[in-house]
Structure 1
Amino acid sequence: MTGEKGEEDEAGLSWDLEDITMEELSEGQAAARALEDVLALSSQALLRAEVEDLYREVRQLGQGRFGRVLLVTHRQRGTAMALKLLSKASTTRQGFLYEFCVGLTLGSHPGIVATYGIGLETQTCYGFLSEPALHGDLIALIQPKRGLPEAAAQLCAQQLSSALEHVHSRGLVYRDLKPENVLVFEPGCRRVKLTDFGHTRPRGTLLRLAGPPIPYTAPELCSPSRRPQGLPIQPSLDAWALGVLLFCLLTGYFPWDQPLAEEDPFYQDFLDWRASGRACDRPAPWGALSPTADRLLGLLLEPQPRLRGPVGSVRAFLGQCWQERAQSPQLAGKGEEREEEEQEEGAE
Structure 2
Amino acid sequence: MPGKQPVERPVEAGAAEDGTEEGLGGLTPEELQQGQEAALALEDMMALSAQTLVHAEVDQLYQEVRPLGQGRYGRVLLVTHRQKGTPLALKQLPKPSTSLRGFLYEFCVGLSLGTHPAIVAAYGIGIESAHSYSFLTEPVLHGDLITFIQPKVGLPQPAAQRCAAQLASALEHIHSRGLVYRDLKPENVLVCDPACRRVKLADFGHTRPRGTLLRLAGPPIPYTAPELCAPPPLPEGLPIQPALDAWALGVLVFCLLTGYFPWDQPLVEADPFYEDFLIWQASGQPQDRPQPWFGLAPAADELLWGLLDPHPRRRSPVGSIKGYLGRPWKQLEREAEELGKGAEDGQ
CA contact (8 A) 2:25 2:233 kept: no
Letter in 2 for 1:133: V
**Where does residue 116 of structure 2 map in the other structure?**
109
**Where does residue 316 of structure 1 map in the other structure?**
323
Distance in 2 separating the partners of 1:277 and 1:333: 19
1:331 maps to which of 326, 332, 340: 340
Q: How far is 1:7 from its partner?
A: 4.6
Distance in 2 separating the partners of 1:147 and 1:280: 22
CA contact (8 A) 1:209 1:224 kept: no
| SS of corresponding position for 1:123 | coil
| SS of corresponding position for 2:133 | strand
The alignment status of 1:272 with 2:270, answered yes or no, reads no
The superposition leaves residues 44-84 of structure 1 with CA deviations (integer Å, 9 ceiling, x where unpaired) of 00001011100000000000111100000000000000000
The superposition leaves residues 266-306 of structure 1 with CA deviations (integer Å, 9 ceiling, x where unpaired) of 00000010112234531111011000000000110010000
1:20 maps to which of 23, 27, 48: 27
Distance in 1 separating the partners of 2:194 and 2:3: 27
1:248 maps to which of 244, 250, 255: 255
Distance in 1 separating the partners of 2:183 and 2:79: 26
Letter in 2 for 1:44: Q
Q: Return closer, same or farther for 1:48/1:271 CA change in 2, 3 Å cut-off.
A: same
| SS of corresponding position for 1:117 | strand
The alignment status of 1:281 with 2:279, answered yes or no, reads no
Letter in 2 for 1:8: P
The alignment status of 1:199 with 2:206, answered yes or no, reads yes
Distance in 1 separating the partners of 2:249 and 2:308: 9
Distance in 1 separating the partners of 2:118 and 2:140: 12
Shift >3 Å, 4+ stretches = 3-7, 11-16, 225-228, 332-335
**Where does residue 236 of structure 1 map in the other structure?**
243
**Where does residue 19 of structure 2 map in the other structure?**
none
| SS of corresponding position for 1:209 | coil
**Where does residue 41 of structure 2 map in the other structure?**
34
| SS of corresponding position for 1:36 | helix
**Where does residue 257 of structure 1 map in the other structure?**
264
CA contact (8 A) 1:272 1:281 kept: no
Residues matched between the structures, number: 333
The superposition leaves residues 213-272 of structure 1 with CA deviations (integer Å, 9 ceiling, x where unpaired) of 000000000013654420000000000000000000000010000101111100000001
Percent sequence identity over aligned pairs: 67
Q: Return closer, same or farther for 1:267/1:227 CA change in 2, 3 Å cut-off.
A: farther
**Where does residue 82 of structure 1 map in the other structure?**
89
Q: Return closer, same or farther for 1:258/1:288 CA change in 2, 3 Å cut-off.
A: same
**Where does residue 221 of structure 1 map in the other structure?**
228
Q: How far is 1:107 from its partner?
A: 3.4
Q: How far is 1:325 from its partner?
A: 1.0
Q: What is the aligned-residue RMSD (CA, Å)?
A: 1.7
CA contact (8 A) 1:6 1:213 kept: no
The alignment status of 1:49 with 2:49, answered yes or no, reads no
Distance in 2 separating the partners of 1:46 and 1:334: 61
**Where does residue 293 of structure 1 map in the other structure?**
300
Letter in 1 for 2:84: R
The superposition leaves residues 14-57 of structure 1 with CA deviations (integer Å, 9 ceiling, x where unpaired) of 55335101100000001111111111110000001011100000
2:311 maps to which of 304, 309, 312: 304
Letter in 2 for 1:328: E
Q: Return closer, same or farther for 1:261/1:152 CA change in 2, 3 Å cut-off.
A: same
Q: How far is 1:211 from its partner?
A: 1.0
**Where does residue 138 of structure 1 map in the other structure?**
145
Letter in 2 for 1:10: E
CA contact (8 A) 2:121 2:137 kept: yes
CA contact (8 A) 2:286 2:298 kept: no
| SS of corresponding position for 1:177 | coil
Letter in 2 for 1:71: L
Distance in 2 separating the partners of 1:244 and 1:6: 22
Letter in 1 for 2:107: F
Distance in 1 separating the partners of 2:86 and 2:330: 42
Distance in 2 separating the partners of 1:70 and 1:176: 21
CA contact (8 A) 2:262 2:292 kept: yes
